[in-house]
Structure 1
Amino acid sequence: MLPIPFLLLLLSSILSPSSAADFCVADLTLPTTPVGFSCKNESAVTVSDFIFSGLGVTGNTNNIFKAAVTPAFSSQFPGLNGLGISAARLDFAIGGVVPLHTHPAASELLIVIHGTILAGFISSSNSVYYKTLNKGDAIVFPQGLLHFQVQIGGLPAVALASFSSPEPGLQIVSVALFANSLPSLLVEKVTFLDDAEVKKLKKVFGGTG
């Protein structure tokens, strides 16, 4: 038989209210922490914190990539904070592309809603996995790996993405290389591109140096 004090402790833990919070709605007025946003006071939480309507709105593809990403991360959708999930909508005009990029903090599941998209990723051993996806097809991009999406065919494309983090992070390779003040000579050294090409790309992406 179990000792009486242990039984009393077990019974007390079963009958007492749980100390775990049901949610941690992001307080966007406070700075972020290494584990996400601070929690909004529960008395200030409303149903609007758990609703996001942006995924039904077509993104503006009038840009160099001919594509748009509408994020539903905790900074746009406070109810996601601390839950380990988020989402985004991807819109592609004809010829649209989301170039090589990575999400340092999340894996991604992409589902094609309309049109045709060529999508793939590169493993850490430099193996390449890519395929043409049609409506209803899905692909997963493991956390931290470089991946891309390209619209193909005669129709614009739309996809929905889900992530395994409320703030997956994003770094686009071309923007990281050519939209900053890193000296052109140094960029040439680390990319093996010639001077003319580096300066052309810096001009395209707004970099200096």
Structure 2
Amino acid sequence: MKLLAAMILAAGLLSAVHIVHAADPDPLQDFCIADIAAGPVSNGFPCKLPALASTDDFAFSGLAEAADPSVSASNGTATLAFVREWPALNTQGLSFVRLDINPGGIIFPHTHNLATEILYVLEGEMYTGFVTNNFGNDPTISNKLYAKVVKKGEAFIFPRGLLHFQLNKGKVLASSLNVLNSQNPGIQLMPLALFGSGIDREMLEKSFFMNEAQVAALENIFQQ
């Protein structure tokens, strides 16, 4: 019940954002259960025949339990409920993520280029925030950090496409339910994108003022 209430609250908080700017096209029918095997098209995935839909298609239990953050190198896990995990989200313009972070653990700095996101803390507390874009080199608003410790029952919003992060500075497991206004919001984890994609080492060395050994060490972590 606690998770359901959080999902309802988070979805309600996002509704104001969704009215102003919907990341996904509006649906043209009541529902469109995704045929994931058919592959995506311009407005999500093709629909299964409506007559084949069942009540179970609209229910999802994948966010009910905390994941084990210790299995991650960052000591934090993200359990996704995007359209591929929950096909009933197809054309509905929203998705969910559950974060579970051990004390001292993090969710790597990342972006969602297709969605605005709201974080609602279920348990514990998280240091979280985002950094603005570079607005014509205006120092008053460029690369500006907005961050704070968000506690149980509190929420925080991340504007669409901006770099954001989570860190558990508390002493107990921290969990949150996050809602995004896209069925497929996209995720780009900065360390993985930079050190796990095969970018020329010289580029990385000069960009981050690191030597070859330091870059190689990070490549060994993120190039799987």
Q: Which category describes the TM-score, using the shorter chain as reference length?
A: 0.7 to 0.9
| More moved, 156-165 vs 31-40 | 31-40
- The residue number in structure 2 matching 1:74 is 83
- The residue number in structure 1 matching 2:114 is 105
Q: Which protein has greater RCO, CA pairs closer than 8 Å, 6+ apart?
A: 2
Q: How many residues align?
A: 188
- Computing the radius of gyration from Cα coordinates, the structure with the larger value is 1
- The residue number in structure 2 matching 1:4 is none
Deviation at 1:60, TM superposition (A): 2.5
Deviation at 1:177, TM superposition (A): 0.7
CA RMSD of aligned residues (A): 1.3
TM-score, normalised to structure 1, is: 0.86
- The residue number in structure 2 matching 1:43 is 51
- The residue number in structure 2 matching 1:95 is 104
CA distance in 2, matches of 1:49, 1:143: 29
- Unaligned 5+ segments in structure 2 are 1-27, 134-141
CA distance in 2, matches of 1:118, 1:34: 36
CA distance in 1, matches of 2:126, 2:171: 11
Deviation at 1:188, TM superposition (A): 1.7
Runs of 4+ in 1 over 6 A off after TM superposition: none
Q: 1:33 aligns with which of 37, 41, 49?
A: 41
Q: Deviations over 1:114-167 (max 9, x none)?
A: 011000000112011000111011000001000000001211110000000111
- Unaligned 5+ segments in structure 1 are 1-19
CA distance in 1, matches of 2:48, 2:208: 45
Q: Does 1:176 align with 2:193?
A: yes
Percent identity over paired residues: 37
Q: 2:150 aligns with which of 113, 117, 133?
A: 133
CA distance in 1, matches of 2:191, 2:120: 24
CA distance in 1, matches of 2:52, 2:208: 50
